Chain A
């Protein structure tokens, strides 16, 4: 069994290595005809740029995006400088150099990678999946009897911030940086998944398709790990199935199929303000121009946030969204599960958390307010501030850096819910409802707590669960996403997630059940 795991690990690492060198591999040759179609598509009027590209790139064989990208960048900067100097603003190109290189790269791939998409897919995703499963599946036997399997979590180089964790950190951060800021280097990855994208939406894959596809693959494989690890715990099994279903069907398949049906790309479960660009002008226009379905999405998006989400939180707590439905939560609960113990439980972190997450919510609301004002007043500036620059700032700081690079990249170091705990504006909103008007709580079982600290250690949201449990108090916290792991790891059966009457949900106690009845009454009443 161990041998199978080791072979699996090697296969996985080979797949990962090939995946990692892909961005710098391959050959690109831009044909004149392809370039012409890009000029038409992007409506490029700069003859300086066109000339430059035709001289330096068209017809030439370039090896690797690292050769192609700088040429595009130079050409673009050069052209724009020239036009600004000559005050030819109509000719200026507003596409970023990275996007331009992505567009050119996608159309000019030649050679092995672009020609053998199936083989490249197998050598990267295929080997990764096979290797990972060979590594994970034997645990069904190796882990022994059903029960909590946290042996050695704080001894491993991977789960205790050792060198493996730091390597994972570097890999994830780099991956997100490529995705958000240098997407041209993802071109070869997109080739590998082109056949899948074409079979779904009919279009070749872009880097966001790579991301969406990978997201589903990673979650599925790591969900297998969850099923094995928590096979004694039906709550975890059902919950994992639920997040997996919503990711694959709602976040991935339905939007792609909608594109094929000429409908707007939309994830029906992605609620504003997590879906921060829902009210952006381009989205509203696209929805309003899409007929009945567009209007339906517009109404659904508003009802989802204003009615459906809070009502569900009232009945079930925010867990129904954060750890049963949400994609960010889904990745955190599968890929991130080995790192859940790294969330800081200090009071200081809690203070930071409250400032940050509510700050982001405020930022999102202000940005959306400005956006809607601009939309209806048909102006691009409010009080001298350009709406689009606020939007761009939010997209960059919150949407890309916080949610992506930090949110997932920092899993191995700060735990798997950094984004959900410190940044997600939707979580902040649901948190208010959960804290002040909900039937959900984690019940503490009388006086049975022994203060061991397993619950706090494995709380991904950094809640010091023990500090409540050892006082006999129920846990009612806005940040709790209801993953259920505190209850699972408790060795004394003290914690239970449940939805019950609001009355008595918060139960401050000082003297715990089991002691003198009169004393309990006397002290707890005060």
Chain B
């Protein structure tokens, strides 16, 4: 019986294991030092906020693993010996493998800031981070102010977490507007306003220079490149993530920023694969980046690799790009590509609509000449994944998308609909006379 060993029990590793089990009887072992059981990393914030308990972040009950003969080992892999096909673990044991899957995820970026390893400095990535933040920032008496460094998705989540316990938060963002490397200007502006509405001290265009220590080696303040010194009791480092692969240095496995893999998720060494956040494609697939630290891509790589391991060699071919996030109270979804001004290709143009009073807006991107629909960002409106995926495949044009926009709406029943307002703005900008069609179940469920 073939012996499959997976390092890392995040979404990528677990998805691989589940699918291998569905397809075969192979022996499966998963090694993790972070937690005994798989949990959803994206939900850690809700544990701190009191929406859930840690056990609720575990998608499978504890008996699931034994029942499915998935062997769980709580240990840390020190090194990989691919010549003897075995792993050396921190607690001393060695584990042999026939096929090895590296799914070790990411770790928070640290850019060599002075004081970056002091006590009281945390990323917001692992279970251990959560426990540390809980210990050092249980309330606003013990933690009188927190400073968060890095304006991305994790940064804003960490700000939301701390604000839920009424801890004052200063949010240092390198960019001139929040996440404007990804979001177009109008949307980035909407989020800036929303952050301020939540009483978060947002400091745009500001970099961290130094984290200042007290006598006990504990972070007590930060200094910014504007010369400000901000007293604080907790520092959050959320300036992106980087593959968690230090233990592979010198192992013979080809590394770049991540573990280098081909389209079959194979490394340079036979029978060793890498998936998820820690995998780096030799070249980005389509318009994707070579490293994609996204929940969904981790899962998709897992689904794909399980096929390959079970003798149905399958190329990793992610479909149309999609993603989602939540900025405090504002939900965000994206389908296809909508680039920010910073990365805007010459052929891409945008149509933007924003609600007059609510935090709702959308941006549709299209090809300048052909008016082909390229992608959509929505804020405060839910949209159907399936519909946009289909429209992207069918290369629909802008007019078609606007005309059928009601088919794509995924808001709960009785919500106020905005399609008429969106289309009327579009008509006045584009000199068209589109009238939105009524939602049609037939179109929604037709498999084109």
Please report the C-alpha to C-alpha distance between residue A403 and residue B415 in the assembled complex, in whole angstroms. 34
Please report the C-alpha to C-alpha distance between residue A234 and residue B411 in the assembled complex, in whole angstroms. 10
Closest partner residue, chain B, to A503 (CB atom): B445
Please report the C-alpha to C-alpha distance between residue A238 and residue B333 in the assembled complex, in whole angstroms. 26
Among A71-79, A102-110, A211-219, A449-457, the one that faces the other chain is: A449-457
Closest partner residue, chain A, to B299 (CB atom): A512
- In the complex, the answer to whether A493 meets B324 with C-beta atoms within 8 Å is yes
Residues in B neighbouring A498, C-beta threshold 8 A: 413
Contact with B along A432-465 (1 / 0, CB 8 A): 0000000000010111101111101100000000
- In the complex, the answer to whether B414 meets A235 with C-beta atoms within 8 Å is yes
Closest partner residue, chain A, to B57 (CB atom): A453
Contact with B along A456-499 (1 / 0, CB 8 A): 11000000001100100000000000001001110111001110
Given contacts A453-B52, A453-B59, A454-B43, is CB(A234)–CB(B331) below 8 Å?
no
Residues in A neighbouring B11, C-beta threshold 8 A: 451
Closest partner residue, chain A, to B166 (CB atom): A151
Of the candidates B319, B333, B413, B415, the one whose C-beta lies within 8 Å of that of A513 is: B319
- In the complex, the answer to whether A514 meets B389 with C-beta atoms within 8 Å is yes
Residues in A neighbouring B164, C-beta threshold 8 A: 151-152
Q: Is A369 an interface residue (CB 8 A)?
A: no
Residues in B neighbouring A456, C-beta threshold 8 A: 56
Please report the C-alpha to C-alpha distance between residue A472 and residue B367 in the assembled complex, in whole angstroms. 31
- In the complex, the answer to whether B445 meets A516 with C-beta atoms within 8 Å is no
Please report the C-alpha to C-alpha distance between residue A513 and residue B324 in the assembled complex, in whole angstroms. 14
Closest partner residue, chain B, to A505 (CB atom): B445
Residues in A neighbouring B58, C-beta threshold 8 A: 453
In the complex, 16 of the A-B residue pairs with CB atoms within 8 angstroms, ordered by the A residue number, are: A151-B49, A151-B51, A154-B51, A155-B50, A234-B415, A235-B414, A445-B382, A450-B324, A451-B40, A452-B43, A457-B52, A492-B325, A513-B389, A514-B300, A517-B317, A519-B304
B421 CB to closest chain A CB, in angstroms?
Answer: 17
- In the complex, the answer to whether B314 meets A519 with C-beta atoms within 8 Å is yes
Please report the C-alpha to C-alpha distance between residue A501 and residue B447 in the assembled complex, in whole angstroms. 14
Q: Is A153 an interface residue (CB 8 A)?
A: yes
Residues in B neighbouring A54, C-beta threshold 8 A: none
Please report the C-alpha to C-alpha distance between residue A519 and residue B413 in the assembled complex, in whole angstroms. 33
Interface of chain A, main secondary structure: loop
- In the complex, the answer to whether A235 meets B52 with C-beta atoms within 8 Å is no
- In the complex, the answer to whether B412 meets A484 with C-beta atoms within 8 Å is yes
- In the complex, the answer to whether B303 meets A150 with C-beta atoms within 8 Å is no
- In the complex, the answer to whether B307 meets A492 with C-beta atoms within 8 Å is no
Q: Restricting to B288-345, which residues have a CB under 8 Å from any CB of A?
A: 295-296, 299-300, 303-304, 307, 314-320, 322, 324-326, 328-329, 331, 333
- In the complex, the answer to whether B326 meets A491 with C-beta atoms within 8 Å is yes
- In the complex, the answer to whether A493 meets B51 with C-beta atoms within 8 Å is no
Please report the C-alpha to C-alpha distance between residue A231 and residue B193 in the assembled complex, in whole angstroms. 21
Q: List 5 other contacts, CB 8 Å, given A150-B51, A515-B300.
A: A145-B328, A154-B51, A156-B50, A235-B415, A501-B445
Closest partner residue, chain B, to A516 (CB atom): B317
Residues in A neighbouring B326, C-beta threshold 8 A: 491-492
B346 CB to closest chain A CB, in angstroms?
Answer: 28
Please report the C-alpha to C-alpha distance between residue A153 and residue B40 in the assembled complex, in whole angstroms. 19
Residues in A neighbouring B247, C-beta threshold 8 A: none
Q: Is A508 an interface residue (CB 8 A)?
A: no
Please report the C-alpha to C-alpha distance between residue A7 and residue B158 in the assembled complex, in whole angstroms. 34
Please report the C-alpha to C-alpha distance between residue A492 and residue B410 in the assembled complex, in whole angstroms. 11
Residues in A neighbouring B416, C-beta threshold 8 A: 234
Given contacts A451-B42, A453-B56, A516-B304, is CB(A496)–CB(B322) below 8 Å?
no
Q: Restricting to B366-387, which residues have a CB under 8 Å from any CB of A?
A: 382-386
Please report the C-alpha to C-alpha distance between residue A457 and residue B389 in the assembled complex, in whole angstroms. 30
Residues in B neighbouring A504, C-beta threshold 8 A: 445
Q: Restricting to A227-275, which residues have a CB under 8 Å from any CB of B?
A: 232-235, 237-238
- In the complex, the answer to whether A346 meets B61 with C-beta atoms within 8 Å is yes
B285 CB to closest chain A CB, in angstroms?
Answer: 11
- In the complex, the answer to whether A234 meets B412 with C-beta atoms within 8 Å is yes
Residues in A neighbouring B410, C-beta threshold 8 A: 443, 445, 493, 496
User: Which of A156, A497, A504 counts the most B-chain CB atoms under 10 A from its CB?
Assistant: A504
- In the complex, the answer to whether B49 meets A448 with C-beta atoms within 8 Å is no
- In the complex, the answer to whether B49 meets A150 with C-beta atoms within 8 Å is yes
Residues in B neighbouring A513, C-beta threshold 8 A: 319, 385-386, 389
Residues in B neighbouring A448, C-beta threshold 8 A: 296, 322, 324, 333, 385
Given contacts A513-B386, A514-B320, A519-B317, is CB(A496)–CB(B412) below 8 Å?
yes
Please report the C-alpha to C-alpha distance between residue A332 and residue B12 in the assembled complex, in whole angstroms. 39
Q: Is A353 an interface residue (CB 8 A)?
A: no
Q: Is A386 an interface residue (CB 8 A)?
A: no
Please report the C-alpha to C-alpha distance between residue A176 and residue B329 in the assembled complex, in whole angstroms. 40
Residues in A neighbouring B22, C-beta threshold 8 A: 510
Residues in B neighbouring A496, C-beta threshold 8 A: 382, 410-413
- In the complex, the answer to whether B19 meets A510 with C-beta atoms within 8 Å is yes
- In the complex, the answer to whether A150 meets B320 with C-beta atoms within 8 Å is no
- In the complex, the answer to whether B415 meets A445 with C-beta atoms within 8 Å is no
Residues in B neighbouring A162, C-beta threshold 8 A: none
- In the complex, the answer to whether B318 meets A516 with C-beta atoms within 8 Å is yes
A499 CB to closest chain B CB, in angstroms?
Answer: 9
- In the complex, the answer to whether A446 meets B412 with C-beta atoms within 8 Å is no
Q: Is B76 an interface residue (CB 8 A)?
A: no
Closest partner residue, chain A, to B383 (CB atom): A493
Closest partner residue, chain B, to A489 (CB atom): B51
Given contacts A152-B164, A493-B324, A512-B299, is CB(A453)–CB(B43) below 8 Å?
yes
Of the candidates B197, B382, B411, the one whose C-beta lies within 8 Å of that of A145 is: B197
Closest partner residue, chain B, to A152 (CB atom): B50
Residues in B neighbouring A153, C-beta threshold 8 A: 50-51
Residues in B neighbouring A145, C-beta threshold 8 A: 197-198, 328-329
B35 CB to closest chain A CB, in angstroms?
Answer: 14
A140 CB to closest chain B CB, in angstroms?
Answer: 16
Residues in A neighbouring B413, C-beta threshold 8 A: 234-235, 484, 496-498
B125 CB to closest chain A CB, in angstroms?
Answer: 15
Q: Is B113 an interface residue (CB 8 A)?
A: no
Of the candidates B56, B59, B314, B325, the one whose C-beta lies within 8 Å of that of A516 is: B314
Q: Is B53 an interface residue (CB 8 A)?
A: yes
B290 CB to closest chain A CB, in angstroms?
Answer: 18
Residues in A neighbouring B328, C-beta threshold 8 A: 145, 147
- In the complex, the answer to whether B412 meets A487 with C-beta atoms within 8 Å is yes
Please report the C-alpha to C-alpha distance between residue A267 and residue B234 in the assembled complex, in whole angstroms. 59
- In the complex, the answer to whether B295 meets A450 with C-beta atoms within 8 Å is yes
Contact with A along B81-102 (1 / 0, CB 8 A): 0000000000000000000000
- In the complex, the answer to whether A516 meets B50 with C-beta atoms within 8 Å is no
Please report the C-alpha to C-alpha distance between residue A127 and residue B331 in the assembled complex, in whole angstroms. 41
Q: Is A500 an interface residue (CB 8 A)?
A: yes
Contact with A along B1-41 (1 / 0, CB 8 A): 00000000001000000010010000000000000000010
- In the complex, the answer to whether B56 meets A457 with C-beta atoms within 8 Å is yes
Please report the C-alpha to C-alpha distance between residue A237 and residue B415 in the assembled complex, in whole angstroms. 10
Q: Is A511 an interface residue (CB 8 A)?
A: yes
Residues in A neighbouring B299, C-beta threshold 8 A: 447, 512
Residues in B neighbouring A517, C-beta threshold 8 A: 317, 319, 393
Given contacts A447-B385, A515-B303, A519-B304, is CB(A147)–CB(B329) below 8 Å?
yes
Residues in B neighbouring A238, C-beta threshold 8 A: 414
Closest partner residue, chain A, to B22 (CB atom): A510
Residues in B neighbouring A232, C-beta threshold 8 A: 329
Q: Is B441 an interface residue (CB 8 A)?
A: yes
- In the complex, the answer to whether B42 meets A452 with C-beta atoms within 8 Å is yes
